[in-house]
């Protein structure tokens, strides 16, 4: 179903803070890009999460550097209507990200599903709205030109922000668990809430997708089926973190059942109800067998997280032409882990797959 987009004419002039002079802008040129991105996002999300839930969508400008997504109405910063080159001149873009570009447009539109069609029960549960909207925006970015690289760059940027130091020398991520919501922002870290609830939650959902990916086929259909069914089951309701956990457990794989109880408490206790980004030290050696095969073995040690922290880590082999082969999954805990795999071809390198893992790897 085509959704009509209603976009009021933007401001004709925007002040450039670097030059302190008005920049004449063609309204039609500014409208077109935003309308195109918005339309593409609506269609993409309808395919992922279910039909667009409202009869129309209006998009309007709002002063400042933020956006808001209400039922049928999205407010976007005036900065989002500027060409990317102008945002770069104003210092709004940084390596790996253009926060006022397609990402914020896609994020606010995702709230039509995550936040509007499904609400949140308390401030503890608001991460479901903001985290799912943030991850939906990252997924949308991955569909475009050079999307895989942009997706990786965005998640890497989020990791850097979480590992950044506060004025007290602690990491931003250590300021508190996602579950604390708005209470994460304080005088020590005024940006604690958006960094942890938006960016760490985005990573948490990405790691959950990795846990639900079939280790044999590489299919992540289970994860997206879980999200779509969550919308179908809870639409029109305010959901809790516990609702999401219980729903996700219906789609978990045998490999993710670390406690052998058909529950994902171990995962959410570590990543939503507690703090900590693991640091892994990876050591490996390769030797050839008489049969001509190669044995790849080594150890992974863990630090900077509580003693009861454990996480499945995928070990991959890198071959020429950037070919990557997953050797297997190793569960790393306080005592570390040892791995041993056999492969018919000598790899260029053996390493931890960091694409689905929020961690620091050495």
Q: pTM for the full model? A: 0.89
Give the model confidence (pLDDT) of 68-100 as tens digits.
999 999 999 887 777 777 676 665 666 556 666
The predicted pLDDT at position 131 comes to 98
Rg, Å, the chain Cα set: 22
Domain boundary among 232, 255, 271: 271
Q: What percent of the chain has pLDDT over 70?
A: 87
The predicted pLDDT at position 304 comes to 95
Give the model confidence (pLDDT) of 273-322 as tens digits.
999 999 999 999 999 999 999 999 999 999 999 999 999 999 999 999 88
The predicted pLDDT at position 95 comes to 57
The predicted pLDDT at position 326 comes to 92
Q: Which of 215, 240, 211, 234 is nearest to 223 (CA)?
A: 211
**Do residue 149 and residue 250 come from a single domain?**
yes
**Do residue 48 and residue 173 come from a single domain?**
no
The predicted pLDDT at position 50 comes to 97
Instruction: State which residues of the chain have pLDDT below 70.
Output: 1-30, 86, 88-100
Say how many domains are in the chain: 3
How far is 119 from 54, CA to CA, in rounded Å?
15
**Do residue 256 and residue 168 come from a single domain?**
yes
Domain of residue 265, residue span? 138-271
**Do residue 74 and residue 38 come from a single domain?**
yes
How far is 39 from 41, CA to CA, in rounded Å?
5
**CATH code of residue 312:** 2.60.40
Secondary structure in 3-state letters for 147-161: HHHHHHHHHHHHHHH
**Do residue 50 and residue 93 come from a single domain?**
yes
């Amino acid at each position: 179903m085509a959704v009509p987009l209603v976009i009021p004419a933007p401001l004709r002039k925007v002040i450039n803070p670097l030059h302190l002079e008005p920049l004449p802008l063609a309204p039609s040129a500014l409208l077109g890009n935003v309308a195109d991105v918005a339309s593409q996002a609506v269609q993409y999300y309808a395919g992922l999460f279910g039909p667009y839930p409202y009869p129309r969508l209006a998009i309007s400008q709002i002063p400042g550097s933020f956006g808001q997504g209400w039922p049928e109405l999205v407010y976007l910063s005036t900065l989002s209507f500027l060409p990317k080159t102008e945002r770069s001149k104003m210092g709004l873009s940084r390596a790996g990200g253009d926060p006022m570009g397609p990402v914020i447009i896609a994020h606010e539109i995702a709230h039509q599903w995550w936040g509007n069609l499904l609400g949140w029960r308390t401030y503890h549960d608001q991460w479901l709205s903001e985290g799912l909207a943030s991850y939906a925006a990252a997924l949308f970015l991955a569909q475009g030109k050079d999307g895989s690289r942009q997706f990786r760059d965005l998640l890497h940027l989020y990791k850097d922000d979480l590992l950044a130091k506060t004025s007290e020398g602690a990491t931003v991520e250590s300021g508190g668990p996602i579950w604390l919501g708005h209470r994460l922002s304080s005088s020590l870290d005024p940006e604690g809430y958006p960094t942890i609830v938006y960016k760490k939650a985005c990573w948490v959902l990405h790691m959950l997708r990795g846990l639900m990916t079939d280790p044999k086929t590489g299919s992540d259909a289970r994860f997206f089926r879980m999200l779509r069914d969550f919308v179908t089951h809870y639409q029109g309701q305010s959901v809790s973190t516990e609702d999401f956990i219980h729903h996700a457990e219906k789609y978990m794989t045998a490999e993710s059942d670390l406690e052998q109880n058909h529950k994902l408490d171990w995962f959410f206790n570590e990543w939503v109800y507690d703090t900590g980004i693991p640091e892994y030290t990876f050591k490996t050696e390769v030797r050839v067998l008489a049969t001509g095969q190669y044995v790849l073995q080594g150890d992974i040690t863990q630090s900077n997280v509580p003693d009861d922290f454990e996480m499945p880590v995928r070990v991959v082999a890198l071959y020429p032409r950037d070919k990557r082969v997953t050797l297997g999954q190793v569960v790393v805990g306080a005592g570390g882990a040892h791995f041993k795999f056999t492969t018919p071809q000598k790899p260029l390198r053996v390493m931890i797959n960091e694409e689905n893992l929020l961690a620091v790897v050495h």
